[in-house]
Amino acid sequence: MEIPNTTAGIEPVKLSLDSRFKFRCHKGIKCFTKCCGDINIILTPYDIIRLKNRLQLSSEEFLAIYTEPQLLEKTDLPIITLKLLDDDASESDKKKCPFVRKDGCIIYKDRPTTCRYYPLGVASLSHKEGADDKEFYFFVHEPHCLGFEEDKEWTIREWRKDQGVDTHDEINAGWTDLIVRKRSFPKNVMLTEQSKNMFFLISYNTDKFKKFIFESSFLDRYKIDGDTVEKIKEDEIARLEFGIKWLKTLLFKQASKDQFEMNENAKVARKKS
């Protein structure tokens, strides 16, 4: 799965975790915040959790105010991108991130995964054992960016850790793996609207997904142990991971250690229907 950091041209040089580069972004640099305009930022499930909690909004409110829906290229999966605003300070039609100001990002500690990667991009994210040799990194070179002229040196491994990318990727791993798997399907294998709606619900609308679990017949239909039920009721990350596992059983008929075995009454009802 490619994570686009920018609409600018990308230098096709493959980099590893141990590749070294010089880069630093700070308020004193002339191009500060210029990379925050005319961008296509795909938001991950963990991005939504961090941002909506930071802004003290429900997931549904955050989605309505700050995002736009799209279909991910080479899949029919619905994703969301950050909704950009008109840049009043620019004479062009340039749009900017709603969270950027002249002195920087107002939600910096909770910034999206894509922003954390910049100025790097990832060509593939499989998140499977041995994935280091299945993915590579590349630089995003934008004409206005002066960060590469700074003296601070990193390995890509060090940059990822410093920017908190490792944590984001770990939490998003199951979701990313699901997308990669769907992307490998033949083009004529399409999802039902119900499946796509469930993918969107689990991926992004965590508060509504919680209501689906606890206010519908879901827990009557599936054998879910009590500890798991209590955990997903209070922990949004645990609920995301639970939802992704369930999605894999729905979309790919993948069993998950009998976690989603149906109750006997539900089995009988299904056979009669």
Mean pLDDT per 10-residue interval, the chain, length 273 residues:
41 84 94 90 97 98 96 87 83 83 95 95 59 73 91 96 95 92 80 92 97 95 92 97 91 62 60 50
Ramachandran bin of 217, using left for φ above 0, alpha for ψ from -120 to 50, beta for the remaining angles: alpha
Give CA–CA dist 2/123, Å, rounded. Answer: 5
For the four alpha carbons of 230, 235, 239 and 245, in that order, the dihedral sign comes to negative
Q: CA distances (Å), 193 to each of 111, 181, 196, 198, in order?
A: 31, 18, 5, 9
pLDDT, position 94: 80
Whether omega before 119 lies within 30 degrees of 0, making that bond cis, reads yes
> Contact 31/69 with Cβ under 8 angstroms?
no
Beta carbons within 10 angstroms of residue 101's beta carbon: 11
pLDDT at 9: 43
How big is the chain, counted in residues? 273
Check residue 108 and give its pLDDT: 96
pLDDT of residue 51: 98
Q: Which helix (H) or strand (E) holds 5?
A: none
Per-residue confidence (pLDDT) for residue 73, from 0 to 100: 79
**pLDDT in the model for residue 191:** 83
pTM score of the predicted model: 0.85
Q: How many CB atoms lie within 10 A of CB 164?
A: 14
Domain range list for the chain: 20-175, 205-272
CB of 15 closer than 8 Å to CB of 144: no
Q: At what angle do helices 236-252 and 206-215 cross, to 10 degrees?
A: 70
Per-residue model confidence (pLDDT) at position 125:
46
